[in-house]
Amino acid sequence: MVDVSSSVVVVTMVDVSSSVVVGKLVVIESLIVVAGARQTPPGTMVERGRLALFQI
């Protein structure tokens, strides 16, 4: 019983941390898109932002 409950806790911790990371990436990408819309065509800036996020 102890092993089962501890594994469930680990899974929930991973889910929480991954969702936080995804949330941060979405915020960063939206900021990149907003900043890029003022400087360059949106399409190219979005592609650059996504490439930068995947490289991190």
- Nearest alpha-carbon partner for 32 in 55, 18, 53, 4: 53
Give the pLDDT of the chain (56 residues) as one tens digit per residue. Answer: 455 555 555 556 556 666 776 677 777 777 777 666 566 555 565 666 666 666 64
Task: Provide the domain count of the chain.
Answer: 1
CA dist., res. 44 & res. 2, Å (int):
52
Q: Is the pTM of this model over 0.75?
A: no
Which pLDDT score, from 0 to 100, does residue 1 have? 46
CA dist., res. 12 & res. 5, Å (int):
11
In a domain, 54, yes or no: yes
The DSSP secondary-structure symbol of 55 reads: H
Find the domain containing 27 and state its range. Answer: 22-56
In a domain, 1, yes or no: no
Contact of 53 with 25, CB cutoff 8 Å: yes
